[in-house]
Amino acid sequence: MNQKRKLIAGNWKMNGSLDANAALLQALREGVGTPACAVAVAVPAPYLAQVQSLADGSPIALAAQDVSQHDSGAFTGEVSAGMLRDFGARYVLVGHSERRQYHGETDAVVAAKAQKALAAGITPIVCVGETLQEREDGQTESVVKRQLAAVIHAVGHCVSELVVAYEPVWAIGTGRTATPEQAQQVHAVLRAQLAAATERADKVPLLYGGSMNAANAAQLLAQPDIDGGLVGGASLKAQDFLQIIAAAQSA
């Protein structure tokens, strides 16, 4: 069984305010103690500076929700990896299903973003996952392997520096969750794919990201190839998020 340190990352999505963020971070700081797992929060870009300050001196790492595939220039509204580094971002989400679905991000764009993050010293959390139709058509494995292969090809020998999050699209924000067995099956496929690409595949945390919550976290995190969670709605509620962190520490 994989014994690497687990990672629990909260994805706030397009939520938050100055007051709400301050209250949430205060509650997390008070409740998290010295966690045995890594903890991060992925916040909207306007709040990076605020949360950097609020999390300073705590074990809570800062993550961004997206990064540009460009370094600088005439790309209005984009945020570069260098800019994220200026605010102390430790992680950045790339290829989240909402970016793929609503912003038309292709596998090639996602791979380019992962490259830019790594070049800036930021760990990309590479999101892969299938839609309900793809799962029903028996395409789950081929879809996630295609999505991950694009990134593996692009980053070359830096594969072991990635974090990979499996997020079945049909289980995001729907209240539906893959069973622990379904999630483990896909995580095992991803682990094997990484093992074929690098001798250090065991270094790569594999996160589950499909409606993980305080009630189901322990069962999911008990699976041999699930090394943590990419948590959506539950990460906006301090007590729920702290319960998931506690589950990761005892898994």
Does 101 map to a domain? yes
Given a cut of 50, whether residue 188 has pLDDT beyond it is yes
Does 234 map to a domain? yes
C-beta separation of 47 from 16 below 8 A? yes
User: Distance between CA atoms of 243 and 215, rounded to whole angstroms?
Assistant: 9
- Per-residue pLDDT, averaged over 74-81, amounts to 98
Does 80 map to a domain? yes
Given a cut of 90, whether residue 174 has pLDDT beyond it is no
Strands 163-166 vs 60-64: parallel, antiparallel or unpaired? unpaired
C-beta separation of 131 from 167 below 8 A? no
* C-alpha distances in Å from residue 29, one per residue of 174, 185, 196, 246: 29, 34, 39, 14
Q: How far is CA 32 from the centre of its chain?
A: 19
**Tell me, what CATH number does 90's domain have?**
3.20.20.70
The parent domain of residue 171 ranges over 7-250
pLDDT at 173 (0 to 100): 77
Is the torsion defined by CA of 111, 116, 117, 118 positive or negative? positive
177 band by pLDDT with thresholds 50, 70 and 90: confident
What pLDDT digit, counting tens, does each position of 150-170 carry? 999 999 999 999 999 999 999
- Per-residue pLDDT, averaged over 38-44, amounts to 98
* 28: enclosing H helix or E strand: helix 18-32
Does 1 map to a domain? no
pLDDT at 3 (0 to 100): 55
2 band by pLDDT with thresholds 50, 70 and 90: very low
pLDDT at 14 (0 to 100): 98
Does 149 map to a domain? yes
C-beta separation of 228 from 17 below 8 A? no
Does 37 map to a domain? yes
Structurally, the chain folds into a number of domains equal to 1
Does 2 map to a domain? no
Does 204 map to a domain? yes
What pLDDT digit, counting tens, does each position of 199-251 carry? 999 999 999 998 899 999 999 999 999 999 999 999 999 999 999 999 999 88
* 204: enclosing H helix or E strand: none
Given a cut of 80, whether residue 4 has pLDDT beyond it is no
What pLDDT digit, counting tens, does each position of 103-135 carry? 999 999 999 999 999 999 999 999 999 999 999
Residues catalogued as catalytic: 96, 167
User: Distance between CA atoms of 210 and 140, rounded to whole angstroms?
Assistant: 14
- Looking at every residue in the chain, the average pLDDT score rounds to 96
User: Distance between CA atoms of 157 and 162, rounded to whole angstroms?
Assistant: 11
User: Distance between CA atoms of 86 and 88, rounded to whole angstroms?
Assistant: 6
